[in-house]
Structure 1
Amino acid sequence: MNNGVKPNFQTRTEKDLLGEASVPVDALYGIQTCRAIENFKLSGVPISHFPEMIIALATVKQACAAANNQLGLLSSEKFNAIKTACEQLQQGQHHDSFQVDMIQGGAGTSTNMNANEVIANLALQNLGYALGDYQHLHPNDDVNMSQSTNDVYPSAVRLAILLSHGALVDSLKSLRDAMAVKAAEFSDVIKMGRTQLQDAVPMSLGQEFRSFATTLNEDVDRIAHLSELLTEVNLGGTAIGTGINAHHQFGEIAVQALSELSGLPMVLAGDLIEASSDMGAFVLFSSMLKRLAIKLSKIANDLRLLSMGPRAGLGEINLPAQQPGSSIMPGKINPVIPEAVSQVAYKIIGHDLAVTMAAEAGQLQLNAMEPLIAYSVLDSIVLLTRAMHMFEHKCITGITANIEHCRAQVDNSIGIITAVNPYIGYENASRIAKLALSSGRAVLDIVLEEGLLSEEKLIAITNPKNLITPTFS
């Protein structure tokens, strides 16, 4: 095993169950992390890609150390050294020492050991000892005391999601508000509404953007509500939920400490065996992220349709130009931001399917596929947060309306006949619509010519306000 260590690099020797191996002399991680780095060259996405995951791991480890100290199982000297190490990680230091791939076998054991080794070595430094001098403070015996990967890892993943979802909700709220601003700006812009891509009835462009704001607003509360399911943790259950090797009060004390350290209302699961294997909360939360992604892609596709052209398409709105659109067609500008939003949505839909399959694949008292669940959900949060920020600032805020063109499409549309249908009857309306289509003439001109309505009445009926609100009487 080379562990990426070149011959001219200084190393230290560590040992584990499988024997001895060389570790870079200045590495904060140890032998088990080295083995995991060598084994899992998969996604290329290390734990350090998600800072909240490292912060969550450190917070869980600090809470566990506090509980062990309070129970008289861990000396104050070791506790203070571990606490200082955890605080360094919480402050964003040494995150580059978390190099294990997010996708890994072992139900997260490699992630847990990466954390145990880094925290142990930082604590050793704090105590004045050399890296790897584990006789003074051990990754397993001290940092991992009263714990198992099977309660630490899922607890940390839940906390990482909770720490990440605030930025997601903020980005969602900001995008919603940007849509609402456009709704007010375009409130007087009359255009054609469409069903099945065919002319339907008039509406305002403001109403269209208001619907975008409304559908996004629905998910603000839902995401917050579903995230509450993630506050329940199985800390103290150790290997399978029976709590072997842990003090009977450890779980309650550790979870209370975790709540105080994180500022979140973490609670101990009522059935630790069930909580150690069930992935239901992740499935629900991932589905909620998928729902939001689908909404964003639908909006993005609508904006692409409304802006298509600019001269040979609908051309109702103009998206802000962000970059030249072609290497061969001069003057072409593509809707690159909405296109990117949709691609993010497809990725998140794929992540949700991965979560579904991984959650289903758990057997007996543990789900070994948790690392894929963690990676998928955390990556979805990051992608959604970034995509919504991009969508707002590089697209939505710069949209302008082609007001006269929108009105001309209304006046020239067969769909306007629906507005006069209650006054002239369905048979007349259908006949006039057919005549207008075959002759290319305007619907309203035919209505006037046939004397079915007076010009004054027709003007009142087709007043913009009357076209987009239920005013028929």
Structure 2
Amino acid sequence: MTHTPAFLHPPRREHDLLGEIEVPALAYYGAHTVRAVRNFRISGTLISAYPRLIAALAVVKQAAAQSNRELGLLEPRIADAIVTACERLRAGELHDQFVVDSIQGGAGTSTNMNANEVIANLALEDLGRPRGEYVTVHPLDHVNLGQSTNDVYPTAVKLALDGAVTALVAEIAVLRAAFSAKATEFADLLTIGRTQLQDAVPMTLGQGFAAYAVTLGEDETRLNEARLLLHELNLGGTAIGTALNADPGYREHALTALRALSGIETLTSAPDLIEATQDTGVFVQLSGVLKRVAVKLSKICNDLRLLSSGPRAGFGEITLPARQAGSSIMPGKVNPVIPEVVNQIAFEIIGHDLTVTMAAEAGQLQLNAFEPIIARGLFDSLDHLTAGVTTLADHCVRGITANTERLAHNMSTSIGLATALNPAIGYANATAIARQALEQDRPITDLVLEQGLLDGTQLAELLSPARLTGRVTAGPGAEEA
């Protein structure tokens, strides 16, 4: 069977409030989408780049169709065709028909129209009717029945964000486990803790990695708290929250259907739909948490780059797995490219947070017109952060090794040991010993023994790994001098 090439199909003609316009004959979208494509040639990143959003739009439209059928507002065969179309979109089909730029004016109207038209034409196809025959299934009268962009779009964004946050939390848990495994592996390796990049007091390398695991666990908790805030919806409020043109029973029917279709049992209707329609606080909250996660993760990556720096002229206490050649001119150079890419993701997320903040603040009266840029920023932050977390776990943390000889050398020569001896020999003696060790490049322990400040047994007990790393609270001679 042969098929006529698409370019040989004459365009179909559709009408909207501005008049007649040509639509590609084989397109599932329609007139409103074509105008949006012409108007918004901005980023080149189309809404098709966000499959979670398309699937969420389909879930909302399916819930609406099912509810309107139950309420007797939508003919069963039309409702069933719309449901089938939505299920196809949820399965990942025809996402390439979502062709509007992700940066768009109109508070998401173009995205909603794009969804309405694709679903209507898919439903027409299911009914054996040609695309564009909207007298049978209309994008607005049927697919958008009882709805407005102003309740559909934020509802879909929240559902899509819920899935993206869930995915991020799962990947953070994997990274946390990788750090925990390294904490166990490095549990008995002594190193010097540093404050302000100066030697401070002893610890184990494992304790440092355990701290990273703990901080990631805290971020999982904060993300889950923010995710729950996404579950309050304004669906059923239509244009400004007054539920104009929606059946009195639609709100509850739609919410019940949405819970079943999404699998999110904690979805609730906002107590005040007018407030909920204009409020973007949940997006600001989530953005702030994502910034928190990014900042903390970037700090961890800074630490990994410092601890692995060198390998001869830096800290050199750990080695990151070599991923690629580091220079086109310096032979043998290997760079910490995985932590570096995570740093850059963090910088991007910090920028997105400012964008989300400004867009949320710019809302006026009963609607925020800038939710598309809010959504884009949050989706990009979540997608990139999730990928970065996975990359860090798979290509860096699991392969980290400890340089035991360097750790031992740094430990024996660090003046940080003087702090551990302070309770036994007094602050003045400890200060003098630290100064001598630094000036003469000699171990603290040798000077203490030479000057008879402690004997070998006392010194060994005071500098035992258990005491140095907080596993015991006191040692011999632990009186303030």
TM-score (norm: length of structure 2) = 0.96
Q: Which residue of 2 aligns with 1:285?
A: 286
Q: Which residue of 1 aligns with 2:16?
A: 16
Q: Distance in 2 between matches of 1:330 and 1:152?
A: 57
1:63 paired to 2:63: yes
User: 1:407 Cα deviation (Å)?
Assistant: 1.4
1:178 paired to 2:167: no
Q: Distance in 2 between matches of 1:403 and 1:468?
A: 17
Q: Distance in 2 between matches of 1:198 and 1:243?
A: 62
Q: Distance in 1 between matches of 2:442 and 2:78?
A: 88
Letter in 2 for 1:117: E
Q: Distance in 2 between matches of 1:9 and 1:301?
A: 57
User: 1:443 Cα deviation (Å)?
Assistant: 1.5
Letter in 2 for 1:138: H
Q: Distance in 2 between matches of 1:395 and 1:449?
A: 44
1:357 paired to 2:358: yes
Q: Which residue of 2 aligns with 1:3?
A: none
Q: Distance in 1 between matches of 2:357 and 2:431?
A: 50
Q: Check the 8 A contact 2:413/2:441 in 1, yes or no.
A: no
Runs of 5+ consecutive residues of structure 2 not aligned to the other structure: 1-5, 476-481
User: 1:466 Cα deviation (Å)?
Assistant: 2.1
User: 1:440 Cα deviation (Å)?
Assistant: 2.1
Q: Which moved more, 1:217-226 or 1:149-158?
A: 217-226
Q: Distance in 1 between matches of 2:229 and 2:466?
A: 46
Q: Which segments of structure 1 move beyond 3 Å, counting only runs of 4 or more? A: 6-9
1:319 paired to 2:323: no
User: 1:360 Cα deviation (Å)?
Assistant: 0.5
Q: After the TM superposition, which residues 208-247 of structure 1 pair with which residues of structure 2 at under 5 Å, given as runs?
A: 208-247=208-247
Q: Distance in 1 between matches of 2:382 and 2:200?
A: 37
Residues 36-89 of structure 1 show CA distances to partners (whole Å, capped at 9, x for unaligned) of 111112222111111110110000001111111111110101000000000000
User: 1:257 Cα deviation (Å)?
Assistant: 0.8
Q: Distance in 1 between matches of 2:43 and 2:342?
A: 22
Letter in 1 for 2:237: G
Letter in 2 for 1:318: T
SS, match of residue 199 in structure 1: strand
Letter in 1 for 2:222: R
Q: Which residue of 1 aligns with 2:89?
A: 89
- CA RMSD for the aligned pairs? 1.1
User: 1:178 Cα deviation (Å)?
Assistant: 0.4
User: 1:179 Cα deviation (Å)?
Assistant: 0.4
1:423 paired to 2:421: no
Q: Which residue of 1 aligns with 2:126?
A: 126
Q: Which residue of 1 aligns with 2:255?
A: 255
Q: Distance in 1 between matches of 2:126 and 2:275?
A: 39
Q: Distance in 1 between matches of 2:44 and 2:204?
A: 48
Kindly, what percent of the aligned residue pairs are identical? 56
User: 1:471 Cα deviation (Å)?
Assistant: 3.1
SS, match of residue 416 in structure 2: helix
Q: Check the 8 A contact 2:417/2:444 in 1, yes or no.
A: yes
Q: Check the 8 A contact 2:107/2:371 in 1, yes or no.
A: yes
SS, match of residue 106 in structure 1: coil
Aligned residues: 468
Letter in 1 for 2:41: K
Q: Distance in 2 between matches of 1:41 and 1:347?
A: 23
Q: Distance in 1 between matches of 2:382 and 2:440?
A: 54
Q: Distance in 1 between matches of 2:368 and 2:154?
A: 10
Q: Distance in 1 between matches of 2:221 and 2:135?
A: 50
Q: Which residue of 2 aligns with 1:72?
A: 72
Q: Which residue of 2 aligns with 1:187?
A: 187
User: 1:9 Cα deviation (Å)?
Assistant: 5.6
Q: Which residue of 1 aligns with 2:3?
A: none
Q: Distance in 2 between matches of 1:187 and 1:278?
A: 48
Q: Which residue of 1 aligns with 2:473?
A: 471
Letter in 2 for 1:320: P
Q: Distance in 1 between matches of 2:9 and 2:200?
A: 72
1:394 paired to 2:395: yes
Q: Check the 8 A contact 2:304/2:339 in 1, yes or no.
A: yes
Q: Which moved more, 1:9-18 or 1:283-292?
A: 9-18
Q: After the TM superposition, which residues 148-187 of structure 1 pair with which residues of structure 2 at under 5 Å, given as runs?
A: 148-187=148-187
Letter in 2 for 1:284: Q
Letter in 2 for 1:336: V
Q: Which residue of 2 aligns with 1:340?
A: 341
Q: Distance in 1 between matches of 2:280 and 2:458?
A: 63
User: 1:133 Cα deviation (Å)?
Assistant: 0.7
Q: Distance in 2 between matches of 1:221 and 1:421?
A: 39
1:113 paired to 2:113: yes
Q: Which residue of 2 aligns with 1:296?
A: 297
Q: Distance in 1 between matches of 2:276 and 2:21?
A: 36
Letter in 2 for 1:356: T
Q: Distance in 2 between matches of 1:101 and 1:316?
A: 48
SS, match of residue 414 in structure 1: coil
Q: Distance in 2 between matches of 1:432 and 1:169?
A: 49
Residues 147-197 of structure 1 show CA distances to partners (whole Å, capped at 9, x for unaligned) of 110010001000111122221111010000000000000001111110000
SS, match of residue 160 in structure 1: helix
User: 1:7 Cα deviation (Å)?
Assistant: 7.8
Residues 80-104 of structure 1 show CA distances to partners (whole Å, capped at 9, x for unaligned) of 0000000000111111111111111
SS, match of residue 295 in structure 2: helix
